[in-house]
């Protein structure tokens, strides 16, 4: 047995993703109840920013405060240690979510049965697709009059381009919702509204669907429909191919109602059986085997305290191999120096406290005084970076206008630090000095303006820029790339790592340039390293 095999095999690190309001918070809470991490419903606060009040900093701070406390929720269920990584609900902080997805081994996707596939669902799944992240789908709110179950599955398959594999099958929806049939262990789980986590679900084992018990429980019409549905679904799908799930090609689907704690246990039991334990990861140098003795891990999130009295930052380290130990020296690869941490922070629900050790799949909070940026790697001496931690093209671009020339130095420092934290992306116009900030949402500009003033004393305004996307450009033909950047210089910028970026005004411009310049590759994401 490998040194840490037992610890590694008992861990499952994942995130729940959804369009806002689909039921992520509610489902999280039910999972925590099952794990015994909380005792009562209502204990998990939504991390949503309720209204889009751009100058409501109290709201932003409140949200950030909650989100650090619940960034990672660790709990045990049936001897499995579950690390649930929280993702911000607000779309303006979507980049945070994308990065968190680089630190998980699988996801649970919640879909509202009434609304089906929504905007955020689509974008988040794109990120999962890029990494072939295994996905389990939970179709929520079956107690409401939702879409027809077959239509809904077809919509999800088509819109998210993933094959679905129903694990349970619903009997009606809305006020006629009677429960689900578990296709795997052939049992009927009858629906009762219930907000507590308990094992006393009304479950009837039905090994033969022709048994008239079905009529007794469901009535003639629904019993017949269920038989037909199951025959159809079983005929199409057969048993779940776990390899295909692990490869991100097939997503098992569960139907339920999170608020009623219905269908959640079926999903959780399957999750701990099939979801991947921490796996080996690719780096710029070699594949790092998760079973290696030596520590490696990367920073995927940095959380700064907005309270001026507490200027600390917490960097979130995802451990990829080896054992992390308190007070041991590790190599900070980018800074080429040895660092150690005397107060690493754990997220175990019962003991939010300093930890002595952690294993692959775990996330450790490291108090940081500005030495980290997203993508940084810790090792025991070797030099490499984990790959697949990209920046995504921002969607809103604004020029930074310095309103206080006396504070230029502070401004530059602030911009660098905030972008290291991943709050926004910074582009410098080619051949000029114009600094352009790219974000996913308006709210981020408000946060930047506020923090530059509060933390660095720099006062800025933003001037809107007419760009629609930033594409990183590369070419094997250096001359062609040089020519392009020269001809298009007003649309060219460099990102923080001096990579060339083409700022497109519109989709039409982008497509035209791509057609006219076949030797140049346009990338919609950049690997940070």
Binding region for ligand GDP (CB under 6 A): 18, 20-26, 46, 48, 89, 140-141, 143-144, 257-260
Nearer to ligand GDP, 87 or 379 (CB): 87
CB of 287 to ligand GDP, least distance (A): 35
- Pick the closest to residue 470 from 416, 419, 421, 397 (CA basis): 397
Please state the closest distance from residue 335 (CB atom) to ligand GDP, in A: 37
Closer of 167 and 240 to ligand GDP (Cβ) = 167
Rounded least distance, CB 100 to ligand GDP, Å: 15
Closest to ligand GDP by CB, 256 vs 414, is: 256
Nearest distance, CB of residue 264 and ligand GDP, angstroms: 10
Which parts of 237-356 are beta strand (E)? Answer: 250-255, 281-282, 287-288, 296-304, 313-321, 324-325, 330-332, 337-339
Helix or strand or coil: residue 161?
A: coil
Do 495 and 501 touch, CB atoms closer than 8 A? yes
- Residue 4 in tokens: 């840490």
**Tally of CB atoms within 10 A around 220:** 10
Q: Is the Cβ–Cβ distance between 448 and 418 less than 8 Å?
A: yes
Calpha distance 502→506 (Å, rounded): 12
In angstroms, give the least distance from the CB of 16 to ligand GDP.
Answer: 8
Q: Which of 21, 125, 39, 35 is nearest to 73 (CA)?
A: 35
Q: Give the C-alpha separation, 90 to 443, whole Å.
A: 9
Nearest residue (CB) to ligand GDP, 263 versus 422: 263
Residues 6+ apart with CB under 8 A from 58: none
Q: What is the DSSP letter of 345?
A: B
Pick from 62, 45, 61, 68: nearest CA to 314? 68
Return the number of the residue (257 or 429) whose C-beta is nearest ligand GDP: 257
* Cβ proximity to ligand GDP, 74 vs 260, nearer residue: 260
Strand partners of residue 187: 182, 205
Query: How far apart (Å, rounded) are the C-alpha atoms in residues 412 and 372?
Result: 17
Whose Cβ is closer to ligand GDP: residue 266's or residue 421's?
Answer: 266
Whose Cβ is closer to ligand GDP: residue 53's or residue 335's? 53
Q: Looking at beta carbons only, is 24 or 373 nearer to ligand GDP?
A: 24
Alpha helix stretches (DSSP H) within 406-487 = 408-420, 442-456, 478-487
Rounded to a whole number of angstroms, the minimum distance from the CB of residue 156 to ligand GDP is 16
Other CB atoms within a 10 A radius of the CB of residue 103 amount to 25
> At closest approach, how far in Å is the CB of 83 from ligand GDP?
19
Cβ distance 153 to 271 under 8 Å?
no
Q: How far is the CB of 28 from ligand GDP (least distance, A)?
A: 8
Kindly state the smallest distance separating residue 146's Cβ from ligand GDP, in Å: 10
The enclosing H or E element of 203 equals strand 202-205
Which residues are bridge partners to 139 per DSSP?
Answer: 111, 255
Nearer to ligand GDP, 23 or 322 (CB): 23
Element (H, E) at 205: strand 202-205
Question: 514 phi and psi, to 5 degrees?
Answer: -65, -40
Distance CA 404, CA 350 (A): 48
Q: Nearest CA to 423 among 92, 47, 183?
A: 92
For ligand GDP, give the closer residue by CB, 104 or 400. 104
- Minimal distance, residue 456 CB to ligand GDP, in Å: 33
For the CB of residue 42, give the shortest distance to ligand GDP in the complex, in Å.
Answer: 10
Other Cβ atoms closer than 10 A to 77:
18
CB of 303 to ligand GDP, least distance (A): 20
Indicate the residue among 23 and 438 with the shorter CB distance to ligand GDP.
Answer: 23
Asked if 338 contacts 327 with a C-beta cutoff of 8 angstroms, the reply is: no
């Amino acid at each position: 047995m490998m040194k840490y095999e037992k610890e590694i095999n008992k861990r499952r690190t994942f995130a729940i993703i959804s369009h806002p309001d689909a039921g992520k918070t509610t489902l999280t809470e039910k999972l925590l109840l099952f794990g015994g991490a909380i005792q009562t419903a209502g204990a998990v606060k939504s991390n949503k920013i309720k209204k889009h009040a751009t100058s409501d900093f109290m709201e932003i701070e409140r949200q950030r405060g909650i989100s650090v406390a619940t960034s990672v929720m660790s709990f045990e269920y049936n001897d499995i240690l579950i690390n649930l990584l929280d993702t911000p609900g607000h779309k303006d902080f979507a980049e945070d979510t994308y990065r968190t997805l680089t630190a998980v081994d699988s996801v649970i996707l919640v879909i509202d049965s009434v609304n089906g596939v929504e905007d955020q669902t689509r974008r988040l799944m794109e990120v999962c697709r890029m990494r072939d992240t295994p996905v389990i789908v939970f179709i929520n709110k079956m107690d409401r009059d939702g879409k027809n179950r077959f239509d809904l599955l077809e919509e999800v398959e088509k819109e998210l381009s993933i094959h679905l594999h129903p694990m349970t099958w619903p009997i009606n929806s809305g006020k006629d919702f009677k429960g689900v049939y578990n296709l795997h262990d052939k049992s009927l789980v009858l629906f009762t509204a219930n907000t507590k986590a308990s094992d006393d679900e009304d479950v009837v084992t039905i090994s033969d669907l022709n048994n008239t018990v079905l009529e007794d429980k469901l009535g003639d019409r629904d019993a017949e429909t269920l038989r037909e549905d199951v025959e159809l679904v079983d005929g199409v799908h057969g048993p779940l191919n776990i390899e295909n799930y692990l490869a991100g090609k097939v997503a098992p689907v569960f139907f339920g109602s999170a608020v009623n704690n219905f269908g959640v246990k079926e999903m959780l039991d399957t999750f701990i059986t099939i979801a991947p334990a921490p796996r080996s990861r690719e780096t710029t140098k070699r594949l790092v085997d998760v079973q290696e003795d030596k520590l490696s891990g990367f920073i995927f999130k940095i959380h700064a305290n907005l309270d001026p009295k507490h200027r600390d930052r917490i960097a979130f380290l995802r451990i990829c191999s080896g054992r992390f130990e308190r007070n041991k020296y590790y190599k900070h690869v980018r800074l080429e120096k040895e660092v150690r941490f005397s107060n690493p922070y754990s997220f175990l629900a019962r003991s939010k406290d300093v930890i002595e050790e952690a294993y692959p799949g775990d996330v450790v909070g490291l108090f940081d005084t500005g030495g980290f940026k997203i993508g940084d790697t810790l090792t025991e001496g070797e030099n490499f970076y984990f790959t697949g931690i990209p920046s995504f093209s921002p969607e809103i671009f604004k020029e930074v206008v310095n309103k206080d020339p006396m504070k230029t130095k502070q401004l530059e420092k602030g911009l660098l630090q905030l972008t290291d934290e991943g709050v926004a992306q910074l582009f410098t116009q080619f051949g000029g000095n114009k600094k352009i900030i790219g974000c996913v949402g308006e709210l981020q500009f408000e946060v930047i303006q506020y923090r530059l003033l509060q933390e660095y004393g720099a006062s800025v305004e933003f001037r809107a820029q007419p760009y629609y996307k930033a594409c990183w450009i590369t070419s094997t033909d250096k001359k062609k790339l040089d020519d392009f950047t020269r001809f298009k210089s007003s649309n060219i910028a460099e990102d923080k790592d001096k990579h060339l970026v083409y700022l497109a005004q519109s989709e039409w411009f982008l497509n035209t340039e791509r057609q006219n310049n076949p030797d140049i590759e346009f990338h919609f994401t950049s690997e940070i390293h």
